[in-house]
């Protein structure tokens, strides 16, 4: 398992710095008005975005090519089906009203994202070692989107 320590860049920011086991750091920012973002890894710029402005699959792209694709299974569920190199993974909330997410492959939990405390966005993620760093950032970004949606919904009520 690869462990990632995620820290928000600023108090009110949805951008994060991801600190990996091997001491490498990836920083990414989430766009304010859209579900999009970008980051650099090993000299390559990666794009995190939706297929359409506010609809469609969630994509990890580099050099104009789709590297990973996630489909939100339902408008009402915090659950994605993720397709990566012929693999199908499920990223889902661990329970209703909980911010912890689980990564499932073939009915087994193979990873998770767990908040460090209920009052913070700092968290720890663990993903399989055989997933590339860009894919791990993509999975974490999907969780951040769900957290941001929940925060926006609670702020509006």
Spell out the domain ranges in the chain. Answer: 2-148
Two tokens, residue 106: 């073939």
23 vs 101, higher pLDDT: 101
Residue 46 burial by Cβ neighbours in a 10 Å radius (0-12, 13-18, 19+): buried
- Looking at residues 75-98, what average pLDDT do you find? 92
pTM of the entire structure?
Answer: 0.92
- Looking at residues 98-102, what average pLDDT do you find? 92
pLDDT confidence band for 149 (50 / 70 / 90): confident
């Amino acid at each position: 398992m690869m462990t990632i320590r995620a820290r928000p860049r600023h108090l009110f920011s949805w951008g994060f710095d991801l600190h990996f086991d091997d001491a490498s750091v990836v920083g990414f920012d989430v766009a304010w008005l859209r579900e999009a973002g970008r980051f650099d890894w090993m000299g390559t710029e990666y794009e995190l975005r939706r297929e359409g402005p506010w609809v469609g699959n969630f994509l990890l792209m580099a050099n104009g090519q789709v590297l990973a694709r996630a489909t939100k299974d339902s408008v009402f569920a915090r659950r994605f089906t993720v397709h990566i190199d012929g693999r199908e993974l499920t990223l889902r909330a661990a329970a209703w009203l909980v911010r912890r997410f689980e990564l499932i492959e073939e009915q087994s939990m193979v990873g998770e994202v767990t908040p460090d405390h209920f009052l913070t966005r700092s968290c720890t993620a663990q993903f399989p070692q055989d997933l590339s760093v860009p894919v791990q950032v993509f999975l974490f970004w999907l969780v951040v989107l769900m957290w941001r949606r929940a925060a926006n919904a609670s702020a509006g009520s």
